[in-house]
Amino acid sequence: MPSLKELRTRITSVKSTQKITSAMKMVAAAKLRRAQEQAEASRPYAERMERMLGSLAASLKDHGDAPPLLVGSGSDKTHLVVVASSDRGLCGGFNVNIVRNARQFIIQLTADGKKVKVLCVGRKGNDQLKREYGSHIVDTITDVDKPKLEFIQADTIGHHIIAMFAEGEFDVCTLIFAKFKSAITQEVTRMQLVPFAIPETGKEVEKEGGIPAIYEFEPEEEEILAELLPRNLSVQIYRAMLENAASEQGARMTAMDNATRNASDMIDDLTVFYNRTRQAVITKELIEIISGAEAL
């Protein structure tokens, strides 16, 4: 049985752990709000981009020779899997879930006879995947959110991917990240980046007089598309990274909330145990004194 002193130290240590977890929870809550605001602010750009790409693709349909980023390289032998995870732990099942999904995907692709390459964004994904799929990992990008998650960081990753694609290192690129549903639920999502799945043409453009509106293009459609597609890739990555950041903070908030609650349960149990032990000790001492007095 632990001594009173040991119990006291134990209670103090759990209390300080609780202080840390509750502070982390509050920090995560603040960061979550900021991440959500950032995701909100990035929405208009992505929406306009999507609409423009829709009209472009619609007008390019008749031409036939669309760029490979849009229609693919004509093969699907080699897959690049981009795994977006966090750099830091202590966020519950966040990274585990993403990595599990990635692992399933890799197994499934390998079973289909495809070659798989992995690009890790975030330290934790690399840490968990390298033991099993170390030879598949082509690169790891860390510290994307330092000092702040900015578009330029996503753009760098985008360029990296496009350079790989241009050199024929892969045919299909899929991004795995956690979509933010709420602070409690994050949904691991796979998104195909290359070839890019064009959304349906915006309804707004078509409503004028019932015929699809014809845009003028300056320079030619192909040229604009050649410039827009890489940028769109970066935008998609940027959005996914923002979602991921929000999910990470949400997961951390929930995890830390649970940890704080567990700590207070533990403190309660320990305190009860401590008091019992203290009383037992007092009783024992009393018995000793009384029996000592009786013996006289």
Partner 1 sequence: MREKVAFELISPEKLLISGDGDMVLVPGAEGDFGVLPDHSLLISGVRPGVLEIHNDGKVDERIFVSGGVAEVTPERCIVLAEQAVPVDELDTKEIEARISDLRDDVDASASDDDRKTAERALMVTEAMRDATTAAPAH
Is there binding between residue 273 and partner 1 (CB under 8 A)?
Answer: no
Is there binding between residue 218 and partner 1 (CB under 8 A)?
Answer: yes
| In the block, residue with structure tokens 């496009």 | 162
Active-site residue list: 91
β-bridge mates for residue 173, sequence order: 80, 194
Is there binding between residue 217 and partner 1 (CB under 8 A)?
Answer: yes
CA distance 69 to 256: 42
CA distance 141 to 161: 12
Is there binding between residue 214 and partner 1 (CB under 8 A)?
Answer: yes
Contact 56, 225 (CB under 8 A): yes
Is there binding between residue 90 and partner 1 (CB under 8 A)?
Answer: no
Selected range binding partner 1 among 26-34, 135-143, 214-222, 248-256, rule: CB under 8 A: 214-222
Provide the token pair at 191: 């998104």
Is there binding between residue 235 and partner 1 (CB under 8 A)?
Answer: yes
Is there binding between residue 292 and partner 1 (CB under 8 A)?
Answer: no
CA distance 135 to 129: 10
* Count of residues near partner 1 by CB under 8 A: 31
| In the block, residue with structure tokens 């840490």 | 127
CA distance 268 to 265: 5
Is there binding between residue 45 and partner 1 (CB under 8 A)?
Answer: yes
Contact 117, 135 (CB under 8 A): no
Is there binding between residue 52 and partner 1 (CB under 8 A)?
Answer: yes
Is there binding between residue 224 and partner 1 (CB under 8 A)?
Answer: yes
Selected range binding partner 1 among 67-75, 114-122, 232-240, 262-270, rule: CB under 8 A: 232-240
The correct pick among 215, 222, 266, 270 for binding partner 1 (CB under 8 A) is 215
Q: Which of 234, 208, 162, 235 is nearest to 55 (CA)?
A: 208
* Cβ-based neighbour number of residue 127 at 10 Å: 15
CB-wise, 151 or 273, nearer to partner 1? Answer: 151
Q: Which residues bind partner 1 (CB under 8 A)?
A: 38, 41-42, 44-46, 48-49, 51-52, 55-56, 150-151, 154, 163, 213-219, 223-224, 227-228, 231, 234-235, 238
